[in-house]
Structure 1
């Protein structure tokens, strides 16, 4: 079968075999080498089919152990749009859960953050760590950085304290005379290393969505940048595109 569609056909076949009860929830599947031989394809094709079923929630990969049947999952949806994206660290309209946050002022900007904020490495920032929990489980984390050159000695220096706590970047910056006009988001698929797995309460190697976000003022200055992580097994990210004035 053609290589570009073979993995889809194998995924369809394995999905039906799981639904038919050939392997029940918790059962360990044969190796990708076994499936490659059975379906007369390369191991990379078999692996791609199994990864698709992991994304769909039928399978679960366990580092150093193998691939297991998990059964279909129900994931929450995290909307990202012009309004929802900017209303909080990761879009606070994804209801049914709670946010936890912790801020630390005068934190030296590491080189990668300094480059995104157009400041010098080591310049003081306020860094705020957020975690969104649904049913007591971490779904999304966000690490947000703001240069203190913008907010120092103002009532909004700490995002989750003061008169505009939790109001979001746009409203807080507007209160001190800074007009935020745009934001960029760069989503990337990734697999959790140990540190990310610990933050999200998932397994090493599990799929995650990473989003690099930066807010810009009218004069072109970056005024906030953040690294957002979403546990793929628990939520999907949906971008809403609107048209018109």
Structure 2
């Protein structure tokens, strides 16, 4: 009886086991696709499809056109559901955090959902800040998430906006606290899982099959003033969102 052809799933399973076992190192480089094809006695197309599957699962990633065909394993990041500073959380994990503006921070007309959350009329000018956040691994920057923040102009004036434009790491919430004595004390989050948009795929360097988590947040001050409305897009298979909450329903 002829030997049954090796499938994409079988190749992916074998590579997954080797990645988990550390055969390629923590952030190691896999052999070229042609070498893997010879090892598994399959076509390069089968290898490429298996690698794309492992990319979608978060085991591998492409390092761009300059290193075409090279895929690297990367670790899953354990991150709390609500964090004051994402960069500081990465530093606790021993990672060097990075941040960069995708668009220049600016005054924009408030979209309807942002206007509702801020309690203003749709089209009212609000301050928008859209950033890509990640970490350094060797000589490469790994993107972990996108953060799009909106602030009311009553709290973020031209002076603060100017600082945001000058410094990609500028702490807007700290500036609001110092100027207006308001700080977030309560956060409401809505979290959904979905597939990424084309823009998200490009910015996060992920495949169309890689799931993302969309986290929509409204940040309230003690007097219920909305300080910030933001949307964060996580590469879902890199994060474990962790929460603590009371369970008083069964309490005597």
Match of 1:179 among 173, 176, 182: 182
Offset from partner CA, 1:95-152 (integer Å, 9 cap, x none): 3231113543321111121112111111111111111133323211101000112222
Offset from partner CA, 1:54-79 (integer Å, 9 cap, x none): 8754699xxxxxxxxx9975223333
Match in the other structure for 1:226: 230
Alpha-carbon spacing, 1:22–1:71, altered in 2? closer, same or farther (3 Å): farther
Taking the TM superposition and a 5 Å limit, the aligned residue runs for 1:141-160 are: 141-153=146-158, 155-158=159-162, 160=164
- Mind listing any 5+ residue stretches in structure 1 that lack a counterpart? 1-10, 30-50, 61-69
Deviates more, 1:95-104 or 1:129-138: 95-104
Alpha-carbon spacing, 1:222–1:159, altered in 2? closer, same or farther (3 Å): farther
Distance 1:160 1:119 in 2: 22
Distance 1:211 1:113 in 2: 14
Match in the other structure for 1:48: none
TM-score normalised by structure 2 residue count: 0.61
Aligned pair 1:239/2:242, yes or no?
yes
Structure whose residues are more often helix by fraction = 2
- Mind listing any 5+ residue stretches in structure 2 that lack a counterpart? 1-8, 19-38, 62-70, 247-252
Structure whose residues are more often strand by fraction = 1
RMSD over aligned CA atoms reads: 3.8
The SS at the match of 1:226 is strand
TM-score normalised by structure 1 residue count: 0.62
Match in the other structure for 1:98: 98
